């Protein structure tokens, strides 16, 4: 189902009890994105595999847009590495004193102001920003960053095309951020140069951390987040049976905001019933395990 039909379902659900305040398309899309993410990450659990190859450091970027912290397995060569909580790690421990390797996933925490920026006059354009992060930050290729508050717009009524968009970097360190934008953002395209000391960046990517440098090729198994909204003609990245649950969740959110708590609670209950029925139907086969037990896995590492 397309987002266009989902919008129509939400409008139909509120015909008899319209809210007392106007609902903009941007606000409605914000609620829809939240509902799709919630159902996709807690109910659907779409499985993906990321092949990182050989990792030469104790920290590696997970350079995919649908990555989450919900990693359920990590392979290093022919071994499965166990998970460890970050709270149980000690960064001062010597690698030679660690007998067994383990992993944990953490979202990036770099953020800071943008001093200046420049782009090439091509489409797509390579853009370079002078940024300020923590001193001595290591350079990471493939990190995901987003920007906000960038100035220097010469097209009246339009926001700067770099604001609010996530980009994969080719260089990301304590002095510069280099990435390729989707469209030409140079002065030739009608946008003036990025205003000095205007705007901030934030590292929104995910990183996998090891207790020591792993041996063998790394494969990361994770539950992926749904694809985000692009246009009304695109399909919602959820099974068809769960689209109505999104409509009920969004309707409940809007009505509850308007203090129509009883009606909102009813829509929320319908959404839960739809998702519970879908989970029960999907897991019916999983309730009967095969006669042959799963093989044991050895977690001992060098």
Q: What is the model's pLDDT at position 91? A: 80
Q: What is the model's pLDDT at position 175? A: 81
Give me Rg for the CA atoms of the chain: 23
Q: Which pair of structure tokens corresponds to residue 104?
A: 């944990």
Q: Which residues contact 52 (CB under 8 A, 6 or more apart)?
A: 60, 62, 208, 217, 218, 219, 220
Q: Which pair of structure tokens corresponds to residue 274?
A: 């739809």
Per-residue model confidence as pLDDT tens digits over 234-248 = 899 999 999 999 999
Per-residue model confidence as pLDDT tens digits over 176-223 = 888 888 777 776 777 666 555 578 889 999 999 999 999 999 999 999
Within a 10 A sphere around the Cβ of 88, how many other Cβ atoms? Answer: 8
Q: Is the pTM of this model over 0.85?
A: no
Nearest one of 180, 175, 185 to 152, comparing CA atoms: 185
Can you list the residues of the chain whose pLDDT is less than 50?
302
CA 12 from centroid of its chain's CA atoms: 30
């Amino acid at each position: 189902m397309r987002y266009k039909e989902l919008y129509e379902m939400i409008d139909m659900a509120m015909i008899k009890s319209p809210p007392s305040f106007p609902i903009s398309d941007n606000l409605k899309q914000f609620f829809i994105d939240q509902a799709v993410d919630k159902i996709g990450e807690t109910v659907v659990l779409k499985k993906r595999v990321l092949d990182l190859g050989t990792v030469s450091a104790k920290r590696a970027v997970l350079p995919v847009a649908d990555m989450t912290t919900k990693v359920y397995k990590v392979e290093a060569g022919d071994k499965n590495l166990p998970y460890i909580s970050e709270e149980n790690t000690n960064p001062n421990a010597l690698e030679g004193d660690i007998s067994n390797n383990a992993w944990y996933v953490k979202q990036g925490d770099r953020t800071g102001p943008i001093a200046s920026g420049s782009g090439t006059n091509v489409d797509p354009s390579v853009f370079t920003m002078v940024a300020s992060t923590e001193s001595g930050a290591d350079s990471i290729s493939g990190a995901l960053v987003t920007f906000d508050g960038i100035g220097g717009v010469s097209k009246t009524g339009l926001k700067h095309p770099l604001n609010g968009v996530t980009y994969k970097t080719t260089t990301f360190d304590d002095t510069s951020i280099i990435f390729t934008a989707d469209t030409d953002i140079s002065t030739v395209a009608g946008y003036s140069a990025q205003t000095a000391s205007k705007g901030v960046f934030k590292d929104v990517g995910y990183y996998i951390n090891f207790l020591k440098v792993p041996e063998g090729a790394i494969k990361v198994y994770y539950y992926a987040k749904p694809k985000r909204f692009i246009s009304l003609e695109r399909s919602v990245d959820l099974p068809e049976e769960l689209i109505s649950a999104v409509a009920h969740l969004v309707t409940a959110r809007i009505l509850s905001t308007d203090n129509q708590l009883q009606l909102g609670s009813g829509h929320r209950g319908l959404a839960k019933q739809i998702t519970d029925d879908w989970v029960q139907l999907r897991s019916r086969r999983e309730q009967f395990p095969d006669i042959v037990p799963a093989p044991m896995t050895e977690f001992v590492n060098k």
